[in-house]
């Protein structure tokens, strides 16, 4: 009997790409992929283990799906991803519901793992993560046909004191430029217009394979692929954000004027404890250069509040910094004490209720800033990638180059000749808290 497989993806876009490759591999093997979990004989849960909240969600999802062994057709429950890379012994010892596990560097062996799990052998494939996927591997893209993600590198060498990514994903390793461009070409042939380049540390791309930072060259080569209209960069590490990269983003019309650059904090003492590159003056200088060289750029960052030793004065100065810089988008995370990381051993840990208060305070500040910054688009004509139609409101909904899929704002478009998956020109008439609205240009 052919197994019916359902894959559940938790966590980030990098996990999504891994799931899509596993989907391609089991499909190539002849297994049937199903959308309904109740129809599956095998379920693969691709987990996140980055922070406590993600780990809790992963464990709860595993337990919930395991109930399908009693109520539906499920024969084997396989767990993959970051949680298994960190906790393989605990998972296998303490969760008999699991029929097999696979780490972040072994998911390309998923067909053999499925076969072994169905036979009841409880396979464990968790080795040192050194694997890097290539374009020859089959991949079943699950995002809308016009947009998708491409991983340009895996792992990280930065060793920030709060972060467990090097433990779960291994050392930094770039894919070859030829492999990336070939994959983008294949995706463009399927109708993809927007490529979002992702990695743990995108700006470090190429330093391990070539003679220096090669992200500017990669961006240009990806933009030259026929059919690609937008190239979007995520996870830019500030320490490697060179002027050459800024010029490339400014000069190439296909590269979105969008910078996703996690800064994590503003205060020098906290940045030093985090083992982050540079200090506040370096950050201010970099942001100034980006905005001067890329007029109209949309700047997204992420901030961690409640890091060990963060005083009330540190937090107040952080709020002042956020207010002064005026980020277009801001993600706020409370510090999560991750075992095995240097920060977990630091003194002056912050109580959870203080961390939550600081996160809520900073998000409220950013909400006001985002609303104010959106008003600058009113009266402008923006290219909008249309993603869906809302029949109740009789509007099309899409995004401009200044907003990434899933995490940022949207544009509500009124018009009659709008095509889903097409880029259309829209005159912006209103700005809301996070979103915009406008009229299609005839």
How confident is the model over 151-197, as pLDDT tens digits? 999 999 988 999 988 888 999 999 999 999 999 999 999 999 999 99
Q: Does an H or E element contain 281, and which?
A: helix 280-293
Question: Who's near 180: CB < 8 A, 6+ residues apart?
Answer: 135, 150, 152, 218, 222
Q: Is 163 annotated as ligand-binding? A: yes
Mean pLDDT of 47-71: 87
Q: Quickly count helices (H) and strands (E) in the chain.
A: 13, 19
Q: Provide the β-strand partners of residue 150.
A: 197
**Has this prediction a pTM greater than 0.85?**
yes
In angstroms, the CA 330 to CA 27 distance is 38
The CATH number for 37's domain is 3.40.50.12160
Instruction: Name, of 29-33, 47-51, 82-86, the range with top average pLDDT.
Output: 29-33
Least confident interval from 276-285, 352-361, 368-377: 368-377
Asked whether residue 131 is domain-assigned, the answer is no
* φ, ψ (nearest 5 deg) of residue 411: -120, 125
The domain boundary, picked from 321, 340, 375, lies at 375
Q: Are residues 244 and 363 in the same domain?
A: yes
Residue 418: pLDDT band with limits 50, 70, 90: confident
Residue 134 included in any domain: no
The closest of 180, 281, 196 to 235, measured between CA atoms, is 196
Instruction: Give yes or no: residues 277 and 422 share one domain.
Output: no
Classify residue 133: in a domain, yes or no: no
Report the alpha-carbon distance of residue 131 to residue 425 in Å, rounded.
42
Side-chain-facing half-sphere of 397: CA atoms under 13 Å? 13
Beginning with the edge strand found earlier in the chain, give each strand of the sheet holding 4-9 in spatial order: 32-33, 4-9, 42-47, 76-81, 100-102, 124-125
Same-domain check for residues 120 and 154: no
Within-domain flag for 392: yes
Q: Which of 125, 160, 177 is the last residue of a domain?
A: 125
Q: Where are the beta strands (DSSP E) in 42-199?
A: 42-47, 76-81, 100-102, 124-125, 147-151, 153-154, 173-174, 194-198
How confident is the model at residue 406, as a pLDDT?
86
Asked if the structure places residue 135 within a domain, the reply is: no
Residues 188 and 307 in one domain: yes
Q: Provide, rounded to the nearest whole percent, the portion of the chain with pLDDT above 90.
A: 76
Alpha carbon distance 125, 66 (integer Å): 20
Domain count, the chain: 3
Q: Where are the beta strands (DSSP E) in 279-410?
A: 298-305, 329-334, 381-390, 395-400
Same domain, yes or no: 251 and 271: yes
pLDDT, one tens digit per residue, over 365-383 is 998 888 788 888 999 999 9
Q: Are 151 and 289 in the same domain? A: yes
Long-range pairs for 294-297: beta carbons < 8 A, 24 or more residues apart: 294/246, 294/249, 294/250, 294/257, 294/259, 295/250, 296/257, 296/402, 297/249, 297/257, 297/258, 297/259
Q: What is the rounded average pLDDT for all residues in the chain?
A: 92
Q: What is the mean pLDDT of residues 204-212?
A: 92
Tell whether 115 is covered by a domain: yes
Residue whose pair of structure tokens reads 């049937």 in the numeric block: 32
With beta carbons less than 8 A apart as the criterion, state whether 111 and 5 touch: no
On the CB side of 181, CA atoms within 13 Å amount to 14
According to DSSP, residue 79 is labeled E
Residue 1 above 70 pLDDT? no
319 is in an annotated binding site: no
Q: State the residue range of the domain holding 407.
A: 378-440
Q: Where are the beta strands (DSSP E) in 306-402?
A: 329-334, 381-390, 395-400
Same-domain status, 107 and 187: no
Reading phi first (left if > 0) and then psi (alpha if -120 to 50, else beta), residue 368 is in alpha
Phi, psi of 423 (to 5 degrees): -95, 120
User: 55, 20 in Cβ contact below 8 A?
Assistant: no
Same domain assignment for residues 356 and 417: no
Assess whether 114 and 166 both reside in one domain.
no
CB–CB of 91/83 below 8 Å? Answer: yes
Alpha-carbon torsion angle 56, 334, 264, 253, nearest 10: 70
Tens of pLDDT, residue by residue over 293-334, are 999 999 999 999 999 999 999 999 999 999 999 999 999 999
Q: Average pLDDT for residues 90-115, to the nearest whole number?
A: 92
Q: Please check if 82 is assigned to a binding site.
A: yes
Q: Examine the domain organization and report whether 90 and 166 are in the same domain.
A: no
215 found inside a domain? yes
Q: Are 69 and 77 in contact (CB under 8 A)?
A: yes
Domain of residue 183, CATH code = 3.80.30.20
Averaged pLDDT for residues 436-442: 89
154 Cβ contact partners less than 8 Å away, ≥ 6 residues apart: 14, 129, 131, 132, 169, 170, 172, 173, 175, 199, 200
Q: Are residues 350 and 231 in the same domain?
A: yes
Distance CA 27, CA 33 (A): 7
d(CA 235, CA 300): 10
- How many whole angstroms separate alpha carbon 215 and alpha carbon 209? 12
Residue 132, domain member (yes or no) = no
**What DSSP designation does 337 have?**
-
Mean pLDDT of 387-416: 92
Same domain, 419 and 362: no
Point out the domain boundary residue: 63, 92, 125. 125
> What is the percent of the chain where pLDDT is above 70?
100
Give yes or no for a contact between 412 and 150, defined as CB atoms under 8 angstroms apart.
Answer: no
256 marked as part of a ligand binding site:
no
The CATH number covering residue 435 comes to: 2.40.50.140
């Amino acid at each position: 009997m052919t197994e019916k497989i359902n894959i559940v993806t938790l966590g980030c876009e990098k996990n999504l790409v891994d799931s899509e490759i596993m989907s391609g591999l089991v499909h190539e093997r002849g297994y049937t992929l199903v959308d309904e979990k109740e129809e599956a004989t095998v379920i693969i849960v691709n987990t996140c283990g980055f922070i406590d909240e993600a780990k809790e969600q992963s464990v709860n999802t595993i337990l919930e799906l395991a109930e399908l062994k009693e109520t539906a057709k499920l024969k084997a429950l396989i767990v993959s991803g970051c949680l298994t890379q960190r906790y393989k012994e605990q998972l296998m010892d303490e969760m008999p519901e699991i029929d097999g596990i696979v780490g972040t560097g072994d998911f390309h062996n998923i067909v053999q793992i499925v076969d072994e799990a169905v036979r009841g052998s409880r396979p464990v494939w968790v080795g040192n993560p050194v694997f890097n996927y290539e374009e020859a591997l089959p991949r079943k893209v699950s995002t809308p046909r016009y947009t998708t993600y491409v991983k340009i590198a895996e792992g990280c060498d930065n060793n920030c004191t709060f972060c467990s990514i090097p433990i779960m994903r291994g050392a930094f390793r770039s894919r070859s430029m030829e492999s990336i461009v070939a994959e983008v070409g294949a995706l463009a042939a399927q109708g993809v217009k927007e490529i979002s380049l992702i990695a743990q540390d995108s700006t470090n791309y190429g330093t391990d394979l070539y003679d220096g930072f090669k992200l500017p060259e990669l961006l240009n080569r990806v933009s030259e692929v026929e059919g690609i209209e937008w190239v979007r960069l995520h996870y830019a590490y500030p320490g490697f954000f060179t002027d050459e990269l800024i010029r490339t983003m400014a000069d190439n019309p296909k590269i979105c004027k969008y910078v996703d650059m996690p800064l994590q904090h503003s205060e020098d003492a906290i940045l030093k404890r985090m083992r982050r590159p540079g200090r506040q003056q370096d950050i201010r200088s970099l942001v100034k250069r980006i905005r001067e060289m890329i007029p109209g750029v949309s700047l997204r960052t992420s901030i961690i509040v409640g890091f060990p030793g963060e005083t009330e004065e540190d937090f107040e100065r952080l709020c002042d910094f956020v207010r002064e810089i005026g980020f277009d988008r801001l993600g706020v995370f409370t510090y999560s004490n991750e075992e095995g990381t240097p920060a977990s051993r630091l003194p002056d840990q912050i109580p959870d209720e203080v961390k939550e208060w600081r996160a809520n305070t900073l998000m409220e500040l950013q909400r006001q800033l985002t609303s104010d910054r959106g008003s600058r688009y009113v009266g402008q004509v923006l290219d909008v990638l249309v993603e869906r139609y809302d029949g109740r409101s009789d509007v099309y909904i899409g995004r401009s180059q200044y907003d990434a899929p899933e995490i940022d704002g949207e544009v509500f478009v009124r018009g009659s000749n709008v095509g889903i998956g097409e880029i259309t020109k829209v005159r912006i008439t209103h700005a809301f808290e996070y979103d915009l609205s406008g009229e299609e240009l005839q």
